[in-house]
Amino acid sequence: MMDIHQILKQLPHRYPFLMVDRVVSIDKSKSIRAFKNVTINEPFFQGHFPRRPVMPGVLMLEALAQAAALLAFDALGKSPEDDTVYYFAAIDNARFKRPVEPGDQLMLDVELVRMKSGIFKFKGKGTVGDELAVEAELTCAMRTIA
């Protein structure tokens, strides 16, 4: 379990781009379960869409990637350094099955498939209740910057 204070120590993201509110569980080097509480106060709802607010699909993928980053740091047994960045390298087989709306809790389940030389492959899914909202395979790269 990881609360918002611990998440803020691990992820460089800040409001309005922090997409993980709490980690429910981590199975070391295997999987993570976290969630994002989606509220009407999210800045993207003003324009997406004014009469029918839905969370953009790319932000659902970002939420999965942030949960995946927390899993990667846990698997490595270290916190990210100031000179370390964590990038998307690929998004495969992304599917959006259900809109995510204000008031929903987007549950993020991510499994580590492979890690080698700073490249991580994950399978992730986001659900609302027992309904699948998003699923994708994510490849992320951890790199040191000058």
95 has pLDDT over 90: yes
Element (H, E) at 15: none
Secondary structure (DSSP) of 87-141: EEEEEEEEEE-S---TT-EEEEEEEEEEEETTEEEEEEEEEETTEEEEEEEEEEE
**pLDDT tens digits along 6-46:** 999 999 999 999 999 999 999 999 999 999 999 999 999 99
82 has pLDDT over 80: no
Question: Cβ distance 143 to 108 under 8 Å?
Answer: no
Domain ranges of the chain: 4-144
* DSSP E strand boundaries for 2-48: 22-27, 31-37
- Catalytic (active-site) positions: 48
One of 3.10.129.10, 3.40.50.1220, 3.40.50.280, 3.30.450.30 is the CATH number of 4-144, namely: 3.10.129.10
Q: Give the pTM.
A: 0.96
